[in-house]
């Protein structure tokens, strides 16, 4: 079996995830959680990959991209300029294929889809899609980009790596949720 595919996102009460090419909120601990979850591996010899759409890539401040200690994959139908160590792919299938073939194949533990909307939607329908790490931001923000519907095949579960219960930062309450779909062998 190839690497598992997980999604990670933070969405507010209307399932909004973005506004005008940026995040609607500033939650430092939530961002640290994103970094931890997408970076940590069980096998110290392996790395994770992060797959993102071109707009999400461009939304990351220059000093933080490529995202450290992860194989960065950017989806675009155009030949955009990216750093040498970033994989530019013209489809999600191509990205997944490259992450499963040599030389990367043996070195990737988990593939994380980190947005935006259409990339989440497409990956949710892939058979290897295993878990959704969704931060439920308990407030309403004006958004122009949204997380897609979570299908009933995904059930809530408790992950020991994930802080339980309500979190709060700058007066904003939020909770880390994890959904899982059974993978067919």
Ligand X SMILES: NC(=O)c1ccc[n+]([C@@H]2O[C@H](COP(=O)([O-])OP(=O)(O)OC[C@H]3O[C@@H](n4cnc5c(N)ncnc54)[C@H](OP(=O)(O)O)[C@@H]3O)[C@@H](O)[C@H]2O)c1
Residues near ligand X, by CB under 6 A: 9-10, 17-18, 21-23, 52-56, 59, 75-78, 90-92, 114-119, 122, 145
Q: Is 88 a catalytic residue?
A: no
Q: Is the peptide bond before 49 cis (omega within 30 degrees of 0)?
A: no
Residue 107 or 122 with smaller CB distance to ligand X: 122
Q: Give the active site residue among 5, 7, 27, 30.
A: 30
Q: Is 175 a catalytic residue?
A: no
Residue 45 or 78 with smaller CB distance to ligand X: 78
Residue 149 or 182 with smaller CB distance to ligand X: 149
Q: 4, exposed or middle or buried, with CB in 10 Å at 0-12, 13-18, 19+?
A: middle
Q: Give the active site residue among 23, 67, 75, 88.
A: 23
Cβ contacts of 161 within 8 Å, gap of 6 or more: 37, 40
CB of 185 to ligand X, least distance (A): 26
Residue 19 or 104 with smaller CB distance to ligand X: 19
* Burial track 79-113 (b if 16+ CB lie within 10 A, e otherwise): eeebeeebbbbeebeebbebbbeeebeebbebbbb
CB of 96 to ligand X, least distance (A): 11
The residue whose Cβ lies closest to ligand X is: 116
Q: How many helices (H) and strands (E) does the chain have?
A: 4, 11
Which of the residues are catalytic?
23, 30
């Amino acid at each position: 079996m190839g690497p598992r595919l997980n999604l990670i996102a933070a969405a507010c009460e209307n399932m909004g995830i973005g506004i005008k090419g940026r995040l609607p909120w500033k939650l430092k601990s939530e961002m640290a959680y994103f970094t931890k979850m997408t970076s940590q591996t069980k096998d110290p010899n392996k790395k994770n990959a992060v797959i993102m759409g071109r707009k999400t890539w461009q939304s990351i401040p220059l000093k933080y991209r490529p995202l450290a200690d992860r194989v960065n994959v950017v989806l675009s139908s155009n030949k955009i300029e990216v750093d040498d160590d970033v994989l530019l792919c013209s489809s999600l299938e191509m990205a997944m294929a490259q992450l499963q073939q040599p030389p990367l194949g043996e070195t990737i533990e988990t593939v994380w889809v980190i947005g935006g909307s259409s990339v989440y939607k497409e990956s949710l329908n892939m058979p290897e899609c295993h878990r959704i790490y969704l931060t439920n931001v308990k407030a309403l923000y004006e958004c122009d980009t949204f997380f897609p519907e979570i299908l009933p095949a995904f059930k809530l579960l408790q992950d020991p790596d994930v802080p339980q219960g309500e979190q709060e930062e700058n007066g904003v309450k939020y909770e880390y949720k994890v959904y899982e779909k059974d993978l067919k062998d």
